[in-house]
């Protein structure tokens, strides 16, 4: 045998019962991946085994992550196993870092069979934090349920995995590295690529960079503040916003990706991005934004900390969509929002006579509509916004969309929102997150709540809080039939819809690791009273939501961890 050929081994293993991928892939505490024998290897083999061998042979796979702890260790294992499983080429971000939107872009650009994204999104990092693995398919988007179910089924019966343990990749050097494996006719190639350039080039073809440069660094430029929260998007902000569009370097903060995100929670909301909110309140910045760990979520702020809710954000982009040159060329095929997201987007869709889709939470549902040519713009209340340029939500894209609107409208963020409310009315929206709830208590509460609301006697019930009376018009567990392939997704959230259109929604988050997050969403429309405090306006519905669910009693929690 030629000693220069790398050996491929088949290693016996035993399955684990808990490797079912959720909306954001498989997420567990880091110590689970570190301490359970072959836990990482089993799941990676299950991903590769879910792909037909004929499709896998000689194929291209993209890999990258948000830079959190365990990222580089996992990449080495993935590369060794990809080579042993017949993959022909791996494309990996420099230093193993690449944002989720950029990975979607690169999968599509290089016609890869898929990509493995190493992130737990907005969950904490570090040795004591969370780690995640998500598989995206050839369209650049999250794997559909049929694929994730197949991966889970394989993981429960796996007996062995293939690996090339002698293969070691240099993640620090750009360019191609070739490896000769035994019993392989062609060398296995690893290509380390600039993490930013392909994605930046895509954005150049979507937005008017000249107009954005004038807005950000011209004679009458605005001042902005961008917080990358020590996640993956920092290098993208520096390269695109600062170097190319001319923002001062000090406009962008926390731009060095850190394995533990600087000890912070990389979640762009009013609670976890409090430093940005405080700096915006001082009034020296006209526009502010924060991004999550892997760069797909965003929060938009105006001067003095004026907060744009994610449902309002996608509605405003929809109403001003032709400020973005891309849509001037492609036209607008449809709008979509996740079910818990407020109906603000619906009002724009109705006025513009553009089709509106209401889907379960999860970007894969949007991707299916995009692939069928039915959808151009979509958003989720969980700080996710995106277009059909890729198949993931895209934080930086959303920021450039807003900046394009500011450049075109020549108004402040606050004035744009107030004009929007005058035109359409306002959907007051809030979400209460009860984090780290005992999972058994949370599940029992949700089961009992469903029994209560789906009973026929619940409809027409009236709830009074002070001078407000709400009558139940409809209550169910949301079910979605995909208009493209007719697949049915059940149990997507408990809905209570009142006769005035107000809604209360309950969901268990699918992205927690060991414990549950209970989310309550409240949405209520007002045509006239558009400038009131959100929490004051929604207080009666919040009282009703807690009364119906008995959440505080059932979970032992006195209040939410996060309010957005």
Residue 467, pLDDT score: 86
Residue 418 or residue 24, greater confidence: 418
Q: Which is catalytic among the residues 121, 198, 342, 502?
A: 121
Q: How far apart are CA 339 and CA 337, in angstroms?
A: 6
Mean pLDDT of the chain: 95
Given pLDDT bands bounded at 50, 70 and 90, which one contains residue 514?
Answer: low
Give the pLDDT confidence score for residue 357 in this predicted structure.
98
Q: What pLDDT was estimated at residue 562? A: 77
341 vs 505: CA distance, rounded Å = 10
Higher-confidence residue of 468 and 47: namely: 47
CA distances to 94, 429, 541, 563 from 535, in Å: 44, 9, 10, 9
pLDDT interval class at 3 (50, 70, 90)? low
Count Cα atoms within 13 angstroms, Cβ side, for 244. Answer: 19
Q: Which residue in this structure is represented by tokens 């606050």? A: 414
Specify the pTM.
0.95
The predicted structure's pLDDT at residue 510: 55
Return the residue matching tokens 């009364």: 547
- Rounded to an integer, the average pLDDT of 412-441 is 95
pLDDT cut 90: percent of the chain above it:
91
Given a cut of 80, is residue 183 above it in pLDDT? no
Are the C-beta atoms of 554 and 562 separated by less than 8 Å? no
The whole-number pLDDT of residue 559 equals 85
State the pLDDT at residue 1.
39
- Tell whether the model's pLDDT for residue 118 goes beyond 60: yes
Distances (CA, A) of 118 to 24, 62, 103, 336: 10, 11, 11, 27
What are the tens digits of pLDDT across the range 96-109? Answer: 999 999 999 999 99
The model's pLDDT over 262-308, given as tens digits with 9 standing for 90+, comes to 999 999 999 999 999 999 999 999 999 999 999 999 999 999 999 99
Is 509 in the active site?
no
CA dihedral 188, 191, 192, 198 (to 10 degrees): -150
**Considering only CA atoms, which of 138, 106, 133, 151 is closest in space to residue 367?**
138
pLDDT at 545 over 80: yes
Worst-scoring range by mean pLDDT, 12-16, 313-317, 507-511, 532-536?
507-511
Whole-number pLDDT of residue 23: 80
């Amino acid at each position: 045998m030629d000693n220069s050929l790398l050996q491929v081994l088949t290693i016996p293993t035993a399955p684990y019962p808990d490797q079912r991928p959720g909306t954001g892939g498989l997420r567990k505490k880091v110590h689970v991946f570190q301490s359970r024998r072959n836990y990482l290897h089993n799941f990676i083999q299950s991903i590769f085994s879910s792909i037909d061998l004929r499709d896998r042979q000689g194929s291209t796979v993209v890999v990258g992550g948000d830079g959190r702890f365990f990222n580089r260790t996992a990449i080495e294992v993935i590369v060794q196993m990809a080579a042993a499983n017949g993959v022909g080429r791996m494309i990996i971000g420099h230093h193993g870092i690449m944002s989720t939107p950029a990975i979607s872009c690169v999968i599509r650009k290089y016609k890869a069979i898929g990509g493995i994204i190493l992130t737990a999104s907005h969950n904490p990092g570090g040795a004591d934090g969370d780690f995640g693995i998500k598989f995206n398919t050839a369209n650049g988007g999250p794997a559909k349920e049929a694929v994730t179910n197949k991966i889970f089924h394989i993981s429960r019966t796996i007996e062995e995995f293939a690996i090339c343990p002698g293969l070691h990749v240099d993640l620090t050097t750009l360019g191609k590295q070739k490896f000769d494996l035994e019993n392989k006719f062609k060398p296995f190639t690893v290509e380390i690529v600039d993490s930013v350039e392909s994605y930046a080039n895509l954005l150049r073809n979507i937005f008017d960079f000249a107009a954005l440069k004038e807005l950000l660094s011209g004679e009458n430029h605005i001042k902005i503040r961008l917080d990358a929260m020590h996640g993956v998007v920092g290098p993208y902000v520096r390269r695109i916003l600062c170097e190319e569009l001319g923002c001062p370097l000090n406009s962008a903060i926390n731009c060095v990706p850190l394995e533990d995100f600087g000890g912070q929670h990389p979640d762009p909301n009013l609670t976890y991005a409090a430093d940005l909110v405080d700096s915006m309140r001082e009034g020296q910045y006209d526009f502010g934004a924060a991004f999550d760990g892997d760069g797909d979520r965003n929060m938009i702020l105006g001067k003095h900390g004026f907060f744009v809710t994610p449902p309002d954000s996608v509605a405003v982009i929809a109403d001003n969509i032709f400020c973005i040159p891309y849509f001037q060329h492609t036209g607008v095929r449809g709008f979509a929002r996740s079910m818990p997201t407020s109906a603000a987007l619906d009002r724009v869709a109705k006025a513009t006579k553009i089709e509106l889709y209401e889907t379960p939470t999860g970007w894969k549902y949007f991707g299916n509509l995009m692939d069928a040519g039915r959808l151009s713009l979509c958003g989720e209340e969980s700080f996710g916004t995106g277009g059909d340029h890729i198949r993931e939500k895209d934080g930086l894209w959303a920021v450039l969309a807003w900046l394009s609107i500011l450049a075109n409208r020549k108004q402040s963020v606050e004035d744009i929102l107030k004009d929007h409310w005058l035109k359409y009315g306002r959907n007051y929206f809030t979400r209460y997150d009860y984090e780290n709830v005992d999972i058994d208590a949370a599940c029992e509460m949700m089961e009992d709540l469903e029994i209560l609301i789906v009973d026929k006697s619940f409809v027409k019930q009236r709830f009074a809080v002070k001078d407000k009376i709400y009558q139940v018009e409809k209550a169910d567990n949301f079910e979605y039939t995909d208009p493209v392939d007719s697949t049915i997704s059940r149990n997507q959230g408990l809905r209570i819809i009142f006769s005035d259109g107000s809604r209360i929604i309950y969901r268990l988050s699918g992205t927690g690791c060991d414990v549950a997050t209970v989310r309550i969403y409240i949405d209520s429309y007002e045509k006239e009273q558009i400038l009131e405090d959100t929490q004051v306006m929604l207080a009666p519905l919040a009282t009703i939501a807690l009364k119906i669910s008995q959440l505080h009693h059932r979970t032992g929690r006195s209040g939410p961890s996060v309010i957005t």
